[in-house]
DNA sequence: CCTAGTATGCTGGTCTGACCAGTAGACTGA
DNA sequence: TCAGTCTACTGGTCAGACCAGCATACTAGG
């Protein structure tokens, strides 16, 4: 009959109102909030309360305060940094395993290649191809790795799907964070690079032929081959269902 | 030669230290932080600064403060609520079209059914089946809709993958928000419910038979049939590549 | 003896008022 | 015209105060 209630703090109300204004289109990205002292009269609360609200919004990546700026706090464009942060946090506290992340990345990239194969434009294909060229001619591992990232980014962008782009970037970043110590001690870095190049060449070929299912399968297989070894034996079973076509 | 620097606020340092203590295993979930007044002496800052730091941690879902609790702020277990929040924020900024969201939902649910078919346990299958039963016997649309949500949630949970669970929930919520006015004016609600029931029955059958690719294809087809009509003609092409098997 | 009720000493939430350093734009001088 | 200074704001931080909420210790009545 009745539903539970919880006390609503003043700063939460302030957050809600500002959030609503940002989502509602008043306060577009690039615009500025009134100064803290203005806000405290508008909301009828003290500056501490206003500041706590602004801290929350700032930690969510919605605004940015600069000391001394007479224009007030800046409203930021939506960006995936907050998403990245919370995902990293979740992954760090081991409530999300590397296996889960790899599983997700396989289904994400698998679908990305499927879509990219059918939807890509000539310039997008050229971009992907250029990234592969850079990888081929890269001398040190850092340049190679950067080009690798560019390759995957270009494929994700070719899908034209924001969610795929963002999630791919974030998940890839978190996965790399989790295994970076393994990579640092890799002795066979040269063999690794060779294998990567082979995979990427094959998948680019499939993209060019607009063979979506082939590209997708190659991508998932490549991910499995590259990362399964970092997983406990038992966890690899959760990836194999994604290898079938 | 030099890298850019940015001023580090006092409250940020406080956040860092507390975060490190939580990630480092001191301060496990369920334990309590010292009181704000204790923290202000330990960190050598004022209470405002401590409170701003605590607000940041709270908005990240790491701690929870209760007025009057003599034990101090509670350290929470990692949960996907923060992930959910930041993802919703990103999806809501209207920089994402309904077409993109549907595309993402199709690939997400498609993979979810694929995994669920192969990994589900008996109790999870029972849960899914129970949700379908509730849908069948539902009298009003609200109860039907709730059971529908429960059905999809149960399938997502059967994948055991946090990312899939969170993303599915978020994307489904945002999609429903975007088309809720269409649904409110739906005249053929009865036909809609009948079609949903048929789809769900079929897909449950495929899950029970552990036929992943069939379940996946049925799910994607069902999504397309249900939602493509809300899309501009031109945008439907972006969904069709996901219908192939 | 046990229990209901109260008293206490903490907690977090909010407010006030103050000071400092940083910023941008107006102002001033050469 | 332009370099430099001035000014009026900004956000960051601090100190001290008050209130309501919670758990515990205590106390009075059975």
Q: Please give, rounded to a whole number of angstroms, the shortest distance from the CA of A242 to a CA of chain B.
A: 8
Whether residue B223 sits in one domain with residue B120: yes
Full residue range of the structural domain in which residue A61 is found: 10-75
Per-residue pLDDT band at B17 (split at 50, 70, 90): very high
d(CA B218, C1' C24) / Å: 61
pLDDT, tens digit (0-9, with 9 covering 90-100), for B63-90:
999 999 999 999 999 888 888 888 888 8
Work out the mean pLDDT of chain B and round it to a whole number: 91
In DSSP terms, which residues pair with B32 in a beta bridge? Answer: B74
Whether residue B205 sits in one domain with residue B150: yes
Whether residue A235 sits in one domain with residue A197: yes
Instruction: Please check whether residue B227 is in contact with residue B239, taking contact to mean a CB–CB distance below 8 angstroms.
Output: no
**A vs B: CB pairs below 8 A:** 139
B244 vs A212: CB contact, 8 Å cut-off? yes
Whether residue B192 sits in one domain with residue B113: yes
Whether residue A101 sits in one domain with residue A35: no
Lowest mean pLDDT among B67-81, B168-182, B219-233: B168-182
**Paired tokens of A204:** 């680019």
A90 vs B77: CB contact, 8 Å cut-off? no
A101 in any annotated domain: yes
Statement: the pTM of the whole predicted model exceeds 0.75: yes
Q: Please give, rounded to a whole number of angstroms, the shortest distance from the CA of B163 to a CA of chain A.
A: 7
**Which pLDDT score is estimated for B2?**
76
CATH code at B48? 1.10.10.10
Per-residue pLDDT band at B94 (split at 50, 70, 90): low
Q: Among A51, A103, A115, whose Cβ lies nearest the Cβ of B161? A: A103
Which residues on chain A are in Cβ contact (under 8 Å) with B56? 55-56, 58-59
* Overall size of chain B counted in residues: 245
Instruction: Please check whether residue B237 is in contact with residue A118, taking contact to mean a CB–CB distance below 8 angstroms.
Output: no
Which residues on chain B are in Cβ contact (under 8 Å) with A8? none
**Which pLDDT score is estimated for A76?**
94
Residue nearest to nucleotide C15 (CA to C1'): A46
Whether residue A62 sits in one domain with residue A128: no
A107 vs B107: CB contact, 8 Å cut-off? yes
B139 in any annotated domain: yes
How many of the other CB atoms lie within 10 Å of CB of A185? 7
Whether residue A59 sits in one domain with residue A40: yes
Q: Does residue B44 register a pLDDT over 70? A: yes
Q: Among A67, A86, A110, whose Cβ lies nearest the Cβ of B86? A: A86
CA-angle at A155, arms to B228 and A160, nearest 5°: 30
Helix axes B81-92, A162-184, angle to 10 degrees: 140
Whether residue B101 sits in one domain with residue B71: no
A202 in any annotated domain: yes
**Which pLDDT score is estimated for A6?**
84
**Which pLDDT score is estimated for B13?**
97
Q: Does residue B212 register a pLDDT over 90? A: yes
Count of helices and strands (H, E) across chain B: 10, 2
**Which pLDDT score is estimated for A192?**
83
Query: Is A36 (CB) below 7 Å from strand D?
Result: yes
Query: Is A68 (CB) below 7 Å from strand D?
Result: yes
Whether residue A86 sits in one domain with residue A67: no
Residues contacting residue A20 through CB under 8 Å, at least 6 positions apart: none
Q: Does residue B153 register a pLDDT over 90? A: yes
- The tens-digit pLDDT sequence of chain A (245 residues) is 777 788 899 999 999 999 999 988 899 999 999 999 999 999 999 999 999 999 999 999 999 999 999 999 999 998 888 888 888 888 777 778 899 999 999 999 999 999 999 999 999 999 999 999 999 999 888 899 999 999 999 999 999 998 899 899 989 988 998 888 777 776 777 888 899 999 999 999 999 999 999 999 999 999 999 999 999 998 999 999 888 86
Query: Is B16 (CB) below 7 Å from strand D?
Result: no
Residues contacting residue B133 through CB under 8 Å, at least 6 positions apart: none
A101 vs B56: CB contact, 8 Å cut-off? no
Whether residue A159 sits in one domain with residue A86: yes
Q: Which nucleotides of D are covered by protein (CB under 7 A)?
A: 8-17, 20-24
A162 vs B80: CB contact, 8 Å cut-off? no
Euclidean distance between CA atoms A143 and A158, whole angstroms: 22
B56 vs A56: CB contact, 8 Å cut-off? yes
3-state DSSP call for residue B244?
A: coil
Whether residue B93 sits in one domain with residue B58: no
Q: Which of A34, A57, A75 is the last residue of a domain?
A: A75
Query: Is A51 (CB) below 7 Å from strand D?
Result: yes
B238 vs A60: CB contact, 8 Å cut-off? no
A4 in any annotated domain: no
Which residues on chain A are in Cβ contact (under 8 Å) with B85? 60, 86
In DSSP terms, which residues pair with B75 in a beta bridge? Answer: B63
Euclidean distance between CA atoms A237 and B121, whole angstroms: 15
A3 in any annotated domain: no
Q: Please give, rounded to a whole number of angstroms, the shortest distance from the CA of A104 to a CA of chain B.
A: 7
d(CA A68, C1' D10) / Å: 4
Euclidean distance between CA atoms B152 and B167, whole angstroms: 12
What's the domain count of chain A? Answer: 2
CATH code at B101? 1.20.120.530
A96 vs B212: CB contact, 8 Å cut-off? no
B1 in any annotated domain: no
**Paired tokens of B65:** 């403060």
Q: By percentage, how much of chain B surpasses pLDDT 70?
A: 98
A22 in any annotated domain: yes
Per the listing, tokens 């992930």 go with B83
Q: Which of A47, A75, A103 is the last residue of a domain?
A: A75
Instruction: Please check whether residue A52 is in contact with residue B55, taking contact to mean a CB–CB distance below 8 angstroms.
Output: yes
Q: Please give, rounded to a whole number of angstroms, the shortest distance from the CA of A59 to a CA of chain B.
A: 6
Averaged pLDDT, B29-55: 96
CA-angle at B158, arms to B155 and B159, nearest 5°: 100
Q: Does residue B187 register a pLDDT over 80? A: no
**Which pLDDT score is estimated for A177?**
85
Euclidean distance between CA atoms B119 and B113, whole angstroms: 10
A2 in any annotated domain: no
Q: Which of B75, B97, B128 is the last residue of a domain?
A: B75
Whether residue A118 sits in one domain with residue A170: yes
Query: Is B216 (CB) below 7 Å from strand D?
Result: no
3-state DSSP call for residue A30?
A: coil
d(CA B37, C1' D19) / Å: 17
Which residues on chain B are in Cβ contact (under 8 Å) with A113? none
- CA–CA distances in Å: residue B32 to residues A56, A109, B22, B35, B108: 21, 41, 11, 9, 38
Q: Does residue B219 register a pLDDT over 70? A: yes
């Amino acid at each position: 009959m009745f539903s539970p209630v919880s006390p609503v703090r003043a700063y939460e109300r302030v957050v809600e109102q500002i959030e609503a204004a940002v989502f509602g289109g008043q306060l577009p990205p690039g615009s500025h909030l009134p100064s803290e002292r203005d806000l405290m009269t508008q909301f009828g609360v003290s500056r501490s309360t206003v500041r706590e609200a602004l801290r929350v919004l700032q930690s969510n990546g919605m605004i940015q305060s600069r000391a001394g700026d007479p224009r007030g706090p800046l409203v930021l464009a939506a960006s995936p940094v907050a998403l990245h942060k919370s995902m990293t946090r979740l992954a760090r506290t081991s409530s999300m395993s590397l296996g889960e992340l790899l599983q997700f990345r396989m289904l994400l990239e698998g679908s990305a290649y499927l879509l990219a194969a059918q939807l890509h434009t000539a310039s997008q294909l050229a971009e992907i191809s250029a990234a592969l060229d850079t990888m081929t001619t890269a001398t040190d591992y850092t340049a190679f790795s950067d080009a690798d990232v560019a390759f995957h980014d270009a494929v994700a962008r070719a899908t034209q799907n924001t969610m795929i782009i963002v999630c791919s970037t974030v998940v890839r970043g978190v996965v790399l964070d989790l295994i970076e110590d393994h990579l640092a001690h890799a002795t066979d870095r040269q063999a690794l690079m060779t294998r990567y190049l082979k995979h990427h060449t094959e998948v680019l070929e499939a993209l060019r032929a607009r063979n979506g299912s082939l590209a997708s399968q190659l991508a998932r297989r490549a991910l499995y081959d590259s990362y399964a070894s970092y997983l406990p034996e038992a966890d690899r079973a959760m990836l194999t269902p994604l290898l079938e076509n």
